[in-house]
Amino acid sequence: MKKLLLASIGFWTLLWASPVPGQETAAYKLIVHPASSVSALSRLQAKKMFLKKETKWPNGQKVLPVDLKASSSTRRVFSKKVIGKSVSSIKSFWQQQIFSGRGVPPPEKRTEKLVLAYVLANPGAIGYVSASANTGRAKVLAVGN
């Protein structure tokens, strides 16, 4: 009886926790303030900026990265393609930074519109939106290898 109960708990834990296949076909656009003189970044540069390991633009301005909320499919694609890690791994990285007293993550915005607004309001900002999003006056950067 005890064994059966344990097996049942184990089974349902695994079932509950099993991953749901994600739709990861969407692409993204990397955007910065319209006044930025930068027009392209390497994947490594973008990664370092979003992990706050590269904190200055070439003109000396502070880099202000902004993320989409963790459940966003655009964030999922961006995290995999640019940072090379899953969103949960990146969350784990930031929690480690926070709890060890080393720093805080970039702000998270609930919608792409809010990301765009943040980028347009802050000259040093860098964000990403889905490939189909209207980026308005924001400058779209090319991402190289």
Partner 1 sequence: MSKNVVVLISCLILLFPVLSQAVEIDEIIHLNGYFSFEYEQQIGDTGKGDKAGSFDLDLFDLVINVMPVEELRLATDLSWEHGTATENNWGNVAVEYAFAEYTVFDWLRVRAGKMFVPFGIYNEIHTAKPVFISVKEPLSTNKNNKFGSGLRFYPRWAVGLEIGGAFDVGGTGFDYSLQVSNGEQETTNPFEEDDNKQKAFSARVRAQPAEDLEIGLSAYADSISEWDVTSVGDEYRSGTTRLLSYGGHLIWNVMGLGVEGEFVMGTVKPSTGDEIMRYGATVMLSYLFLDRYTPYFRFEYLDPDTNTENDQAMMFVYGINVRLVDRLFIKLELDTVAAESLNSRFGGGNESYTEFKGAIVFGF
| 29/50 with CB nearer partner 1 | 50
Q: Does 104 bind partner 1 (CB under 8 A)?
A: yes
133: DSSP letter: S
Q: Does 25 bind partner 1 (CB under 8 A)?
A: no
Q: Does 98 bind partner 1 (CB under 8 A)?
A: yes
Near partner 1 by CB under 8 A: residue from 84, 132, 136, 144: 84
- Distance between terminal CA atoms of the chain? 57
Burial class (CB in 10 A: 0-12, 13-18, 19+), 53: exposed
- Pairwise CA distance, residues 31 & 14, whole Å: 39
Q: Does 56 bind partner 1 (CB under 8 A)?
A: yes
| 38/114 with CB nearer partner 1 | 114
Q: Does 17 bind partner 1 (CB under 8 A)?
A: yes
Q: Does 20 bind partner 1 (CB under 8 A)?
A: no
Beta strands in 16-132 (DSSP E): 28-32, 40-42, 64-65, 67-68, 108-109, 125-130
- Pairwise CA distance, residues 114 & 118, whole Å: 6
Residues that bind partner 1 (CB under 8 A): 13-14, 16-19, 53, 55-56, 62, 70, 84, 86, 88-89, 91-92, 95-96, 98-104, 107
